[in-house]
Amino acid sequence: MSLLEQGLPASFFTRWRAVATGLGIGGAAIIGFSIYASIEKYVTEPTTAPACYGDGLVAGKGIIPPRGARLRNGGSIDERPAAATDENERLTLALRACTPQSCPKQAWQAYRSALFWYLTPRLQHTSRLYQGYGDDGLIRAREIYREPLDVKIEEGMRERYAAGVFRFNDFRQNREAITILVLKGADALRPCAKG
């Protein structure tokens, strides 16, 4: 007589054994799902760039002012955010320390941080232009972010990605934007639209 033929005796599953078995199965499922969630981002590296970044925004229908025109508050839509211009030196130093040929861990962390502080104000500015002026705002954003430093940063991202310095999934924030900039280029960078 085997256990397969006879099955478990009726007295085997007492109330406490049933609770313990249920907790064991539940615990194993939780551990399995957490392991899967932690390794999934390393398994599913994107091979194509998404069409857009961020949450859905409504495209604005405003008439875009001429280049350099001042708004009522004295500013201009063409001015880069102050946070982005403050980070230029930091990012330039990070580009020198973390090259495609050699990027030690500390240099990589400085590069990733500098890239975050460069990209976040840029993406926010681009999103504001899109919300205010629609596709005309995106065209203006492309003009604003075509300075030599911007081109150098984008080319540097492509070189470092090709050399295996980073993967897209290494970035928790701005992952979609980085993927677009590396695989498609700055002309494809656009926020997601609602509807």
* 51-76: pLDDT as tens digits: 999 888 888 898 888 888 887 777 88
* 2-14: pLDDT as tens digits: 667 777 676 776 7
Write the CB contacts of 55 (distance below 8 Å, at least 6 apart in sequence). Answer: 192
| Residue from 127, 128, 93, 99 nearest 113 by CA | 93
Assess whether pLDDT exceeds 90 at residue 100.
yes
Q: What is the pTM of this model?
A: 0.75
- Between 14 and 148, the higher pLDDT residue: 148
* 13-46: pLDDT as tens digits: 678 888 888 899 999 999 988 887 777 656 678 8
Confidence of residue 83 (pLDDT cuts 50, 70, 90): low
SS3 state at 56: strand
* 37-48: pLDDT as tens digits: 777 656 678 888
Rounded CA gap, 101 and 152, in Å?
16
